Amino acid sequence: MLEHIKKIFEEEPIPTSVKEKMEELKRQGKEVPDDELIKRPSHIEGIRQAGFINTAVLDEVGKQIHVGMSTQEIDDIVSSFTKNANAICAPLHYEGYPKSVCTSINQEVCHGIPSRFKKLHDGDIVNVDCTTIYNGYYADASRMFMVGNVSESRRKLVEETKKCLEIGMKAAKPWATVGDIGYAISEYAHSKGYGVVRELGGHGVGIDFHEDPFVSHIAKKNTGMVLVPGMVLTIEPMINAGKAGVLLDAYNDWTVYTVDGKDSAQWEHTIVITDTGCEVLTY
């Protein structure tokens, strides 16, 4: 942890009213976050600044994405734009990941590796997952892009997955639980006949790439960690057109596919829990 980030924990304490409520809930047997998972106002502003850049990167991808381009070209856009903004692409070399962004096409659920040999074809859907580090703070988001003439079934999957994200964010309220998010998302997705990926989910973020809590997109109400004002996390439902099951690419040990070969979609925002709901920091 960078020194200027660490120092803020001492300079900006958790409000007394919040601290007292956390202690009360802990006595009741609830799972409450450690103090370091509650970002202070200066931390949140730093994450917001990283989020501005992260959002601008995805905006730039949206301007340039087209039929026939390679996923390596997307990686080049992300890498160049981020560097010009004096920021860092968090995925590059993270646990050995070889590229600056993840590009997942059609039946690829997540962690697709950009390649100059992999082209976007008319009718493809592709998720571009981008994480930016700026001044030591992390912001993480992904978007779906529909390339050319997309089938109605793919268009619906993309739109309904975005709806799942929106429903999840509505459930992300102060003093609710992480499980409430997963319950809301899975109830809606299942009502539409889709599968919800269990093995991967959202996570705390901001001071590190992946922090607690794990945010499952399929869960029971009133379970898991309590959501406290100041917590920063991602909600990123991975919704499959068919079965929920997934498998890992045995060759690259990164890319995740649907087990039945059917399409998958994902949208991701970084949010901060506020006193009244949540605020989106990057999208």
For 79, the domain range is 3-282
Spatial separation of the C-alpha atoms in residues 34 and 31, rounded to whole Å: 9
Report the alpha-carbon distance of residue 16 to residue 55 in Å, rounded.
34
Verdict on whether the full-model pTM lies above 0.95 = yes
SS3 49: helix
Please give the pLDDT value at position 274.
98
Specify which residues 283 forms β-bridges with.
none
- So what's the pLDDT on residue 89? 98
Averaged over 140-146, what is the pLDDT?
98
Burial class of residue 47 (count of CB atoms within 10 Å of its CB; 0-12, 13-18, 19+):
buried
Q: What is the mean pLDDT of residues 45-52?
A: 98
Strand pairing partners for 239? 196, 265
Average per-residue pLDDT for the chain: 98
Spell out the alpha helix ranges (H) of the chain: 3-11, 16-27, 41-64, 71-84, 152-171, 178-191
pLDDT one-digit tens code per residue, 160-218: 999 999 999 999 999 999 999 999 999 999 999 999 999 999 999 999 999 999 999 99
| Number of structural domains the chain divides into | 1
**Phi and psi torsions of 215, nearest 5°:** -110, 95
| pLDDT score for 132 | 98
**Mean pLDDT computed over 113-133:** 98
- Of 114, 151, 141, the closest CA to residue 232 belongs to 141
Q: Is 100's pLDDT higher than 90?
A: yes
Q: pLDDT grade, residue 1 (50/70/90)?
A: confident
The CATH code of the domain that includes 56 is 3.90.230.10
Mean pLDDT confidence for 53-75: 98
Residues 6+ apart with CB under 8 A from 175: 21, 25, 226, 227, 228
pLDDT tens per residue, range 243-254: 999 999 999 999
CB-CB contact of 89 with 82 (8 Å):
yes
Q: Tell me how crowded residue 189 is: count the other CB atoms within 10 A of its CB.
A: 25
User: By percentage, how much of the chain surpasses pLDDT 70?
Assistant: 100
User: How many other CB atoms sit within 10 Å of the CB of residue 118?
Assistant: 18
Q: Please give the pLDDT value at position 122.
A: 98
